[in-house]
Amino acid sequence: MADRRFPASDRNLKKATIGIPRALLYNRSRILWSTFFHELELKTIFSSPTNRQTQEKGSERAIDEMCLSVKIYLGHVQELIGKCDYILVPRIVSYGIRRTMCTTFEALPDIVRNIFWQESPHILTYNVDLEHSLPEEQALTRMGISLGFLPGQARRAAKRALAAQKKADERQAKETEQLYKESGLRVAVAAHSYVLEDDYIGKPVADYLKKMGVTVIRADQVDRKAALDISAKVSPTLKWELSREIVGSLWMHRSRLDGIILMSVYPCALDSMVNDMIVRKFEGSGIPILQLTMDAQSGTAGVETRLESFIDIIRMRETAQREQERQREQKKQDERDQKEQDKLAARQRKELERQEKDERKQAQRRRKDEEKREKEQAKRAARERKAGERAARGKKETPQGSGEEAH
Amino acid sequence: MAETDRQKKKIGFPMVAHYNCVVQYFVEQGLGQEYILQPQMTRRTMELGAKLAPDMVCTPFKTTLGSMIEALEAGADTLIMSFGLCRLGYYGELAEQILREQGYEFDYVNLAEYTTGKYRDYFKALRRVCPKLNAVRAGKVGLDALKMVEYIDEIEDLYHQNCGFALDHKACRAAYLRFFADMKRAKSRQDIDAGYQKAREALETLPLNKPAHPLRVALIGEYFTVMDEFSNLDLEETIADMGVELHRWMNLSHRNLHYPGEKNLNASIRDLCTYEMGPTSTANIWYARTCAEAGYDGIIHVKSAGCTPEIDIMPVLQRVGQQYKVPTLYLTYDSQTATAGLQTRLEAFYDMIDMRRKVRA
């Protein structure tokens, strides 16, 4: 049962203070950790939000080639050394098949131990590795036991902590979902939570975007299960949990986005491949994509210029699209008018034709009448003439005629 | 095999160190298909890959992509790509996407797609390559192929531990190269054994001018770059030729065929690292510690630019270096690395460990 790799449990540790670095998985697991330790009635302290000094101090201790986020993390750890009994450095390997984390999360406790081996702070860790059947609940329980708590206590705390975190995640996903329905420019920022929520790297970017009147949507806050399912369709062998959430989220909402900003720290192992894949997969979708790489040197000016130009491009595109739409609409209207006019003209023409026809008919009738009349006149004339002739004859032989009449 | 040449698939595989003759042997003898061996990797391979690959990806992706293109140019119609535990696991899909966008046409077997947690599912991939798979024959040939891997690793070790001291350096090199030519031509287990025996004999009987206690350097580092002589710019040959006995633990036989398991390697380095830090990390730390304890004169750590697992173990290696006072040289290879700079650094390193040895004596 007991993991031989865990420090021997010490009952006195029950009153320990746990230091939590405000970096890497902090934003993803804040509620999990604080609930867990709160349930066990342990005191927690957090390092202060990242600033320039955190980053510089971390970079001093780190290996040059480590990514900026890890350097910052080390800065946070250094700040906590001496201020608490234990520093929480979790080890997260995987949540299942094709649901792994970056290998740095796998190595994190040992990185911290070795970088600060002279200070040798006490590291508190829990080991999540689903591929070796170590789920989160069990890992947290073991950590609780190693702190001297009873298995039951530890398990209850773990369960409550996981439930609280899940609830918070779902609520946040729902809130984010609402943003996709906002009017105005909707730009998704695809970045790991530890990049986007970091006060030194990501926050300034998000704030600046908001200042420009953009609706900033976090791609990583999403219904995780749905996002994972969709990412498996978009890119079947993509195996990093954090990347899959982002890819799935972007793909799900692609019809509702005006632009995507792929923000990563230098040099992010996952993003180096996944961002390229995203750009390739989204090529046909017509959504503008900005790739933003943050490193320790980047002052805000350079980033702001790039953001501005990107937003300008989207706006210009929008305007152009709207203009196009307007023109199309105008054209349609014109066509409609033309048709209307044509119809009117046709109707008038028909009217005219009918009138002409009527006139012709009338003329015909008149002519016929005349002909009739002429015929009748002719007949009458003929009759009169005949009558005249008869009268003339009668004058000659009246008796005959009268005799005939009498007859 | 019943299949005529016309029906045979022409299978290509990216270049990996000296192991392509193993793939060739297995594909041709075991699966009864044709294997297309692309030319050795050159600067062109790197340029082809670097042009198409994302900028920040680790260097092996670029060479892999380049050598896939070269395999297609050489006539392959089916490409096989490996799975892996780090970014290597995503190489296959991204490479396919890039190649297809470039307009290449080929059948693609990406082993990463068959990862389900059960090893037997990889046999489905074999069935796709070869629908009329004769499992018994493939199994038998597969075992021979694994033997070939062991032989290759043995000969490589032998060569790099002795080539710096050979009186007739050319003959030594020739025997080494002849071995690979033999492996490439091998049609049966007898051929493999014969080639191995010949090479072993040739290398062992070569007259050496080796001091009783030569300078010993351990080579550790990233799986691919440390084994592939193109990727590490002939590092082994260069350092060995300075008169150094070079030891490298990392190879296919040790890491894959006879891996003692992470737990057993970790047992002796528990004070340095509690957990596995990456796919090859435990082995590298263990070997560095072992060599440091054995009194090696130096350690060279090799990795490609941006290889996260190897970057992550550097703090541990630095600690080993400090604790045991072993000089450690960290080399990072990217697509721009040129031999001149490397040569200078290696010479300086050699001078340093040589002087240390003399001061201590």
How far, rounded to the nearest angstrom, does the alpha carbon of residue B37 sit from its chain's CA centroid? Answer: 17
Query: What pLDDT is recorded for position A120?
Result: 87
Q: What is the pLDDT of residue A2?
A: 37
Give the model's pLDDT for residue B335: 83
Evaluate if residue A3 carries a pLDDT over 50.
no
Give me the interface pTM, i.e. the ipTM: 0.90
Cα–Cα distance measured from residue A345 to residue A260, given in angstroms and rounded to the nearest whole number: 52
Handedness of CA A335, A338, A340, A343 (dihedral sign): negative
**pLDDT surpassing 60 at residue A1:** no
In which band, very low, low, confident or very high, does the pLDDT at A296 lie, cut at 50, 70 and 90?
A: confident
- Out of B89, B116, B272, closest to residue A239 by CB: B89
The minimum CA-CA distance between A236 and chain B, rounded to whole Å, is 7
pLDDT band per the 50, 70, 90 thresholds, residue A398? low
Around Cβ A27, how many Cβ atoms within 10 Å?
A: 17
Do A98 and B115 count as a contact with CB atoms less than 8 A apart? yes
Say yes or no for a CB contact (<8 Å) between B309 and A63: no
Residue B73 has pLDDT above 60, yes or no: yes
**Residues of chain B contacting residue A113, judged by C-beta atoms under 8 Å apart:** 273-274
- ∠ at Cα B186 (B180, B189), nearest 5°? 115
> What residues contact residue B129 under an 8 Å CB cut-off, 6+ apart?
B9, B11, B27, B31, B33, B78, B80, B109
**What percent of chain B shows pLDDT beyond 70?**
98
Task: Kindly identify which residue of chain A lies nearest to residue B57, measuring between CA atoms.
Answer: A272
| Residue A277 near chain B (CB below 8 Å) | yes
| A106 contact residues in B (CB cutoff 8 A) | 275-278
Alpha-carbon gap: A275 to the closest alpha carbon of chain B (Å): 9
d(Cα B185, Cα B245) in Å, to the nearest integer?
30
Which chain A residue shows the shortest CA-CA distance from B91? A273
pLDDT class for B309, splitting at 50, 70, 90? very high
Give me the pLDDT at residue A14, please: 61
Look at strands B107-110 and B215-221 and give their pairing. Answer: unpaired
Sign of the Cα torsion B184, B188, B191, B193 reads positive
- How many helices (H) and strands (E) chain B has is answered by 15, 8
What distance in Å separates residue A116's CA from the closest CA in chain B? Answer: 9
Q: Taking residues A301-328, report their average pLDDT.
A: 89
Kindly state the average pLDDT of the residues B166-180.
93
Element (H, E) at B149: helix B135-162
| Interface contacts (A, B; CB < 8 Å) | 117
**pLDDT tops 90 at residue A317:** no
Beta-carbon separation of A107 and B90 below 8 A: no
B1 falls in which pLDDT band (50, 70, 90)? very low
Whether residue A241 lies within 8 A of chain B, CB to CB, comes out as: no
Contact A111 B274 (CB under 8 A): no
Find chain B residues with C-beta within 8 A of A234's C-beta.
Answer: none
| pLDDT the model gives residue A402 | 47
Mean per-residue pLDDT, A325-350: 92
pLDDT range class, residue A399, cuts 50, 70, 90: low
* Mutation for testing the A interface, residue in B308, B320, B332 having most A CBs under 10 Å: B308
pLDDT single digits (tens) A366-386: 999 999 999 999 988 888 888
**Does A284 contact B at CB distance below 8 Å?**
no
* Residue A31, pLDDT score: 94
- The predicted pLDDT at position B115 comes to 80
Q: Is B87–A274 a contact, with Cβ atoms under 8 angstroms apart?
A: no
Q: Judge whether residue B338 has pLDDT over 50.
A: yes
Of B90, B112, B277, the CB nearest to A110: B277
Look at residue B174 and tell me whether its pLDDT is greater than 90.
Answer: yes
User: What SS3 state is found at B10?
Assistant: strand
The answer to whether the beta carbons of residues B130 and B32 sit under 8 Å apart is yes
Return the HEC string of chain A.
Answer: CCCCCCCCCCHHHHHCEEEECCCCCHHHHHHHHHHHHHHCCCEEEECCCCCHHHHHHHHHHCCCCCCHHHHHHHHHHHHHCCCCCEEECCEEEECCCCCECCHHHHHHHHHHHHHCCCCCCCEECCEEEHHHCECHHHHHHHHHHHCCCCHHHHHHHHHHHHHHHHHHHHHHHHHHHHHCCCCCCEEEEECCHHHHCCCCCHHHHHHHHHHCCCEEEECCCCCHHHHHHHHHHHCCCCCEHHHHHHHHHHHHCHHHCCEEEEEEECCCHHHHHHHHHHHHHCHHHCCCEEEEEECCCCCHHHHHHHHHHHHHHHHHHHHHHHHHHHHHHHHHHHHHHHHHHHHHHHHHHHHHHHHHHHHHHHHHHHHHHHHHHHHHHHHHHHHHHHHHHHHHHHHHCHHHHHHHHHC
Q: For residue B115, list chain A residues with Cβ-Cβ distance below 8 A.
A: 97-98, 237
- Up-side HSE of residue B110: CA atoms within 13 Å toward CB? 19
Least confident interval from A292-301, B40-49, B104-113: A292-301
Instruction: Return mean pLDDT, chain A.
Output: 88
pLDDT band at B120 (very low <50, low <70, confident <90, very high): confident
A contacts of B87 (beta carbons < 8 Å): 269-270, 272-273
Partner-chain contact B94 A273, CB within 8 Å: yes
Higher pLDDT, A390 or A21: A21
Q: Of the candidates B57, B101, B274, which has its C-beta nearest A110's C-beta?
A: B274
Between B119 and A185, where is the model more confident? A185
Question: Residue A272 is nearest to which of B112, B272, B306, comparing CB atoms?
Answer: B306
Point out the residue among B90, B305, B309 whose CB comes nearest to the CB of A238: B90
CB A62 within 8 A of CB A96: no
Q: Output the pLDDT for position A147.
A: 87
Return the pLDDT at B108. Answer: 93
Q: What is the b/e burial string over B92-115, where b = at least 16 CB atoms within 10 angstroms of the residue's CB? A: bbbbbebbeeeeeebebbbbbbbb
Per-residue pLDDT band at B128 (split at 50, 70, 90): confident
- Compute the nearest-CA separation of A4 from chain B (Å): 10
Chain A residues within 8 A of B58 when measuring between CB atoms:
269, 272
Average pLDDT over every residue of B174-189: 94
Average the pLDDT over A284-311 and give the result: 86
Query: Tell me, what's the pLDDT at B124?
Result: 85
By a Cβ cutoff of 8 Å, what residues of chain B touch chain A? Answer: 54-58, 61, 86-87, 89-90, 92-94, 97-98, 101, 110, 112-113, 115-117, 270, 272-279, 281, 305-306, 308-309, 311-316, 318-319, 332
Alpha carbon distance B23, B42 (integer Å): 20
- pLDDT value of residue B346: 94
CA-based nearest residue in chain A for residue B94: A277
Closest by Cβ to A110, choosing from B116, B275, B305? B275
Residue A406 pLDDT class (50, 70, 90 cuts):
very low
CB contact under 8 A, A102 and B279: no
Torsion of CA B122, B127, B130, B134, to 10 degrees: 100
Are residues A273 and B87, on separate chains, in Cβ contact within 8 Å?
Answer: yes
* Residue pLDDT, tens place only, B263-282: 899 899 999 999 999 889 99
Which among A157, A138, A122 has a CA at the least distance from the CA of A34? A157
Would you state the pLDDT for residue A13? 57
Selecting from B56, B86, B315 the residue whose C-beta is nearest the C-beta of A114 gives B315
